Amino acid sequence: MDDLSPVLSIQGLAKSFSTPVFRDLSLEIKSQQSVALVGANGAGKSTFIKIILGLVGADSGSVKIWGQDPRNSRVLERVGYLPEVSGFWPELSAREMLFFASKFTDRNQEELVERRENLLSVLGLKNRGARRMDGYSKGMLQRSGLANLLLHDPEFLVLDEPMSGLDPRAQAKLRDILSRLRERGKTLLISSHSLEDIQKLCDRVIVLEKGAKVLDGETSQVLSELERKYQSSEPWDEDPLGDDSGFF
């Protein structure tokens, strides 16, 4: 497969719940790209991620991962997803969760056992990973979620605000892991509010605003454009936080 072939291809995507979320959104993410998805709260980032993973259906338009429907089991095998709030069963330990996760892939089970132990060790869960997850800190939960994400060695990783709720040390560690995955040629799609993370991890930034793609380009270019917009006090649409003059 061509290194720059599209991993994700979206054409004319439209989705509405009670109000429209996306109207005619089109974009492509190529293999080995590391893309940041940026936007204010409510801009549609999480919905966008759920649509590309097949968790939410589009009203119209097409969403393809490697040219196929995202719900296709062969596609699923190559995709990893880390939700904003880690998806975990509090009744299980991290080790048990990884045991079951290994049973949900077609990969060689012996390799997975070795990979599971390595992941637990690298992510600092080797000893504490035997405890039930309802006693974990936010950082440990995020690391368990990351181990779960990486267990089947997916080629396309989708992370929804992975740094949210982590302390600075844990953030630095996670940033380092993601950076190494990027170097290994994984395709990353990261939803984030942190400009520092975006600068360090991504080579492309897509800015969503009210369900539309308002900026899309190289990281440095898009970030300077964002900075210029904020500094010039040019309103994008309206101040999302409202006018607080005279209140405080």
Partner 1 sequence: MVFFDRVFWLASLRCLILLRQKLGWMSLIVGGALIPLVLIVARVSFVGPAKIFWDFSLGISFLLQIVLASYLGSHVLDEERARKTLHVLCAGRMTRVQWVWGQVLGTWAFITAMNFIWLLVSAGLSKAIFADAGSWIHLQTQIFVAIEVAIVVGAALLLSMFLRSALAWMSLISVLILLHSVSYLLTILKSQIFQVSGEAEAYEYLFKALYFLPPLEWLDLRVFVGYEEFFEWSQFLSIGALGVAWSLFFVFIAQRRIERLDF
Distance CA 35, CA 143 (A): 21
| ∠ CA 123-124-125, rounded to 5° | 95
Nearer residue to partner 1 within complex by CB, 148 or 192: 148
Evaluate whether 62 touches 12 at the Cβ level (below 8 Å): yes
From the CB of 222, what's the least distance to partner 1, in Å?
27
C-alpha closest to that of 202 among 38, 20, 3: 38
Write out the binding residues for partner 1, residues 206-235 only, by CB under 8 A.
Answer: none
Q: Side chain identity at 125, as an amino acid letter?
A: L
Minimum CB–partner distance for residue 92 and partner 1 (Å): 7
Which amino acid would we find at residue 19? Answer: T
Q: What single-letter amino acid sits at 184?
A: R
Residue 63 or 207: the one with the smaller Cβ distance to partner 1 is 63
CA angle 105–111–117, rounded 5-degree value: 100
Q: Which listed range, 27-35, 69-77, 167-175, 194-202, lies at the site for partner 1 (CB under 8 A)?
A: 69-77
Residue whose entry in the numeric block shows the structure tokens 């968790």: 55
Indicate the residue among 36 and 97 with the shorter CB distance to partner 1.
Answer: 97
The identity of residue 157, as a single letter, is L
Instruction: Kindly indicate which of the ranges 28-36, 151-159, 171-179, 205-213 contains the residues binding partner 1, using the contact rule CB under 8 A.
Output: 151-159
Number of alpha helices (DSSP H) and beta strands (DSSP E) in the chain: 8, 9
Q: Whole-number minimum distance, CB 29 to partner 1, in Å?
A: 16
By the rule CB under 8 A, 100 interacts with partner 1: yes
| 186 contacts 180 by C-beta, under 8 angstroms | no
In this chain, which stretch among 85-93, 190-198, 225-233, 235-243 interacts with partner 1, using CB under 8 A? 85-93
The single residue among 26, 62, 85, 230 that binds partner 1, judged by CB under 8 A, is: 85
Residues that bind partner 1 (CB under 8 A): 50, 53-57, 71, 73, 76-77, 79-81, 83, 85-92, 96, 100-101, 103-106, 145, 148-149, 152, 154, 158
